[in-house]
Homo-oligomer: A and B are copies of this chain.
């Protein structure tokens, strides 16, 4: 979880794109639609996009997945005209979620959290450009939780088809945010499992799992708080790219942000509680172990001393000759042991250690 940012050399011209090594080849899919029409196309050359630009009331969504080829970005820049600082933020990742109004376009950075087809947890930056009739989205890997959004575009008559590009941008943002819910639920289940194990029999591997989860929470938190700020600024500050009608929906989106943060902060408190539980459990076990040691030692060490006395080889030990001495010493030993046991019981050491305590537990 150590932070590594892709960035150009220090002191470069602002807006320089960092070099990408080993990134995935860009896959470009475009959706052009209006209330009446719908077209969907996959592109291999950015050139061809020039013949797919929106006309009239049409809206174009260009969905770029994979940033492995810097030229493709520059070509797209040539077609759509992005601000150089914004374009740099697409490549020089990770950036914190934000919403920035440029003269040419609105620029959103958000994050996608999901489990991919192999059930691996993926947390990735998505950059969204919004113009009057254009939405361009960039992400680094393939796959996203936007299938329902695409379905709504494809279906004639949905509100989506009748609304503007700003509604599409909102729908994308909203779906990406909502994608955090199942992720958080999954973490929640891990915490539940951990808790059960903590109470029964904590293992040191649990601690490491807990630390992994804490770090994921740290990372999520880092992104969700600025995300909230970004959405809040979209709701609050008017700009020419987002219509008033869409702003009501963004308020709903903001509520989701707040709720996600709230869940996250609660989970963070739960993890501290679990750590505390674990330490309490460790202390209890130490106490229990020490009690066993003390009880055994305290009973047998003095008794051994008594046997030691009569194991001495002195010539003149009158007791030794006495016929009742041996039974008498047994009497002494049993009395001492019994006395000790009574003392421990009165102190509550016997039975408090482990069993009866657990029995009484609800």
A residues whose Cβ falls under 8 Å from a Cβ of B = 1-5, 7, 9-14, 85, 95-96, 98, 100, 145-149, 151-152, 158-160, 171, 174-175, 178-179, 181-182, 184-185, 188-189, 191-192, 199, 201, 203-205, 207-209, 211, 214-215, 218-219, 222, 226, 248-249, 251-252, 255, 258-259, 262-263, 266-267, 269-270, 273, 275-280, 282-287, 289-294, 296-298, 300-305, 307-317, 319-326, 329, 347-349, 352, 354, 357-358, 360-362
Copies of this chain in the oligomer: 5
Chain B residues with Cβ below 8 Å from A361 are: 203-205, 208
> How far, in Å, is A335 (CB) from chain B's closest CB?
15
Q: List 30 A-B contacts (CB under 8 A).
A: A1-B270, A3-B185, A3-B263, A4-B185, A10-B181, A11-B145, A11-B175, A13-B158, A205-B360, A205-B362, A207-B277, A218-B266, A218-B269, A275-B276, A279-B280, A279-B283, A280-B282, A282-B283, A289-B290, A289-B349, A294-B296, A296-B298, A296-B301, A297-B301, A300-B301, A307-B311, A313-B320, A314-B329, A315-B320, A316-B322
- Known contacts: A178-B10, A258-B96, A289-B291. The answer to whether A320 contacts B311 by CB under 8 A is no
Interface centre among A188, A255, A275, A305 (most CB of B within 10 A): A305
